Amino acid sequence: MKKIIVAIDGYSSSGKSTMARELAARVGYIYVDSGAMYRAVTLYAMRHGMITPDKTVDTERLVAALPSIHISFAPAGADGVQHTLLNGEDVEREIRDMQVSENVSPVAVIQEVRQRLVALQQEFGEHKGIVMDGRDIGTTVFPNAELKVFVCASPEERARRRLKELSEKGENVTYQEVYDNVVERDRIDTSREVSPLRKAEDAIELDNGTMTRQEQMDWLLRQFEAAIIKS
Ligand code: DC
C-alpha cells in the first residue's frame, strides 16, 4: 500500500503525541516526537550550564555545540514508549520533567537549533510511512504531508491532563504551576519569529477537549484512510 506522511501539530499537552503514537502503531508507521528533540537539546544545554536561572540561553555556545549533539530514538520497549537518546544516553524520563519544560521554549526559538532539527526530521520522513507530531510539522517540516491535523483543547483541560501525567510519574507540582507553564509555552510557541505554531491552511482541526481516547483514535483512523485514498 502507498505510504503517506502524517503531520500532527498543536498546542502543548493537547494529547497529540498520544494520538500520533497510537496511529503509527496501528498502521505500522514510524513515529517521531519532534518535541522530544527540542527537549533533548534543552537538556544538553542545561547540563552544560548554557541556560541561566532566568532562562537566558547562551545561544553562541549552544549553536557551537550543535554538531556534537546527536539525537536518536530507541524503538519502543516493554513500556510501549519510544525512548529518546541524547548522544546515546536514554534521557526519555529526564526530558519530560518540569525543569526541561520550563527551559525548552527559549531553546526552540533559536534559528540554528530549528534548522538542524528540521533537517533531521525531514531525513526521518524521506521514505514516508511516518507520523510526526510537533508545532511546525505541517507548515515547515512537511508542507506536502498528505494528512495534516491541528489539535487544540482549552489551556485548563491541557493543564489537567499534564498534571495527571506528572503526578503519575511522582512529580510534585501544583495545578497552577502546570497551568502557568502551558499558557507561557502557548505564548512563546505562537509568537516566535521562526516557525511559530499555527494551523496549516490545509490542516484539519480537531478540538479533542471532550473526546475520549478511543473517539480520537477512531476519528484519526478515518482521516488516515481518507488521505490514503486521496493520495
Ligand atoms: O510537544 P512538547 O511539549 O514536548 O514540545 C516541547 C517544546 O518544543 C514546545 O514548548 C515547543 C517546542 N517544539 C517546537 O518548537 N517545534 C516542534 N516541532 C515541536 C516542539
Asked whether the beta carbons of 69 and 61 are under 8 A apart, the reply is no
Coil vs helix vs strand at 126? coil
Coil vs helix vs strand at 54? coil
Distance between Cα 33 and ligand 1 center (Å):
9
Does ligand 1 lie within 6 Å of residue 38's CB atom? yes
Asked whether the beta carbons of 132 and 141 are under 8 A apart, the reply is yes
Distance between Cα 157 and ligand 1 center (Å):
18
pTM: 0.92
Residue 151, all three cell numbers: 489539535
Q: Ligand 1 atom 4: the closest Cα is on which residue?
A: 35
Q: Which amino acid is at 141?
A: V
> How far apart are alpha carbons 231 and 135 in whole angstroms?
23
Per-residue pLDDT of the chain (231 residues; tens, 9 = 90+): 789 999 999 998 898 999 999 999 999 999 999 999 999 999 999 999 999 999 999 999 999 999 999 999 998 777 777 899 999 999 999 999 889 999 998 999 999 999 999 999 999 999 999 999 999 999 999 999 999 999 999 999 999 999 998 899 888 999 999 999 999 989 988 998 888 899 999 999 999 988 998 999 999 999 999 999 999
- Residue 209: the pLDDT is 87
DSSP secondary-structure letter at 94?
G
Does ligand 1 lie within 6 Å of residue 39's CB atom? yes
Task: Please give the C-alpha separations between residue 151 and each of 91, 129, 203, 230, in angstroms, as whole numbers.
Answer: 26, 21, 10, 22
Distance between Cα 73 and ligand 1 center (Å):
16
Coil vs helix vs strand at 63? helix
> How far apart are alpha carbons 197 and 216 in whole angstroms?
21
Distance between Cα 103 and ligand 1 center (Å):
11
